[in-house]
Amino acid sequence: MLSCVGRLLFGFILEYLYETTFSLFVLVFTLVMSCGSAADCDYDIKPVTETFGGEVGGINVKDIDEDCASKLKQEAFMYRFLLIRGQSLAWQDQVKFTEQLGTPFRETSSINRKKHENIPDPRLGYFSNDRAEGLTSVGVEGWHVDGNVAEAPHLFTIIYCISNNKNGPTLVIPLREIVEMLNNEERKFLEKIHFVSGYNSSIVHALLYKDPNRNDDTIMLALGKLSGQYLEEMEDSTTRHMSTEETKAVMDLLEVKVLSSNKIYAHQYQPGDLMVLYNPSIAHIAGPGSQTPREISGLRLMSRTTVIGEKKPSKTSNIKYKCSKLPPFENGYCLFSLKGSLNYPQIDLAVLPTEEWNEFVRNIISCTGEPHWVNAQNPEGSDIFWEGFEKKSNFSLWDPPSGQPNDHNMYEDCVVIGPYAHWFDLPCSGLCKNGPGLKSGPVMVWEDGKRHMFNVFPLCGVDMEYL
């Protein structure tokens, strides 16, 4: 059975699809994007942990262009944080890189942040264990996502190490995995809770919500004094203020999950390290020893910038479903594209066994303008077998002008619906290639008779009863 996650790829190289996993938890297309990026942007990337994080090598961020920054932005969405070592950045370089990722937040405008006299630009924050060098005791309040005093949490946090001290790491935790640790009772309870900022009580967010770019579950996590008294949604849709003790019990539950997760990554800095944290999907805290006096542990000096968040936390996924009860799915079957999504639960690729279903999906495909994987096999010739159906399909819509199916240069046993809903055969697996002149997407003649490079996205299907 082919799943959407199993085909959640931005593309493949010269009609090859790379099908592997970064880890049990990271999406299979991550390494495909890495191959494409290495060719176009001249960097390589490797996992930091088995769960999350990517270390980027062979790049100086102060020299990159907008296209390269856009690729790094996608890498950050997928890996959840990036580590780029060996940088030598003036403060202007860090601000420029931040601008390439989005709109910088004015650090000095934060309600819980004072301005240090050494800061050369309001978009920067200097954090240290020496009051003469930067603000002290920052980031130690509790596990948190940045921007917990804003209408939308920050999109990215960029930390540049100017000077490191002993035992002063930043600890990072992936939030989807913490949500997955909740039992049914805990999850049901926390779904009713609303986070309230400890510094601005007008900032209220759903405690559990959908990551706006990855579409997986995440948490508006800000522990300790970063949290005010939470709100609980009642059965009549009203809310009540939880007591200080009740709020602390919620925070304690989340902290226990974090500390027992075995997922914490502790980054021990070296001068020149640059960390890019995709803020909605991870939480962090300044680790033990970060505030040890300079005379004992050496100078710790971090330059931080952040990117303004784009969306207020929401429990609603941005995935758009189109449903029908056409035969043979009289109980209802819903289709959706995963273009623009980086994660989704294990849902199957779409089954389109009739001409009516192929016509139904045409609008979904044409709106995206991209080809999509479907749950069909093409073992030989023009034969089509749909997942869940024993017999060969009587219907096919191969694209005749391009000679489909053509087993181009290799055995192509998977099926893609093109931008105009005709069918193409492509390999289910292959080699990841990169090098001069190679492209990050399939280059072939599509329905319009012209040669294009397209990324291929999953078209997924689910029984209506499960939505």
**pLDDT, tens digit (0-9, with 9 covering 90-100), for 281-338:** 999 999 989 999 999 999 999 999 999 998 899 988 777 889 999 999 999 999 988 8
More confident residue, 23 or 465: 465
- Confidence at residue 4, expressed as pLDDT on a 0 to 100 scale: 56
Q: Band the pLDDT of 440: cuts 50, 70, 90.
A: very low
Q: Band the pLDDT of 242: cuts 50, 70, 90.
A: very high
Q: Band the pLDDT of 2: cuts 50, 70, 90.
A: low
The pTM score is: 0.72
Average pLDDT over all residues of the chain = 85
**Average pLDDT estimate for 131-149:** 94
Question: Cα separation of 458 and 8, whole Å?
Answer: 6
More confident residue, 199 or 17: 199
In Å, the largest CA–CA distance within the chain is 79
Query: Would the pLDDT of 449 be above 90?
Result: no
Query: Would the pLDDT of 441 be above 80?
Result: no
Q: Band the pLDDT of 215: cuts 50, 70, 90.
A: confident
More confident residue, 412 or 79: 79
Beta strands in 85-163 (DSSP E): 125-128, 156-163
**Average pLDDT estimate for 454-458:** 83
Among 466, 455, 177, CA closest to 343: 177
Q: Which residues contact 374 (CB under 8 A, 6 or more apart)?
A: 349, 350, 351, 352, 415, 416, 417, 459
Question: Cα separation of 189 and 184, whole Å?
Answer: 9
Query: Would the pLDDT of 34 be above 60?
Result: no
Q: Band the pLDDT of 38: cuts 50, 70, 90.
A: very low
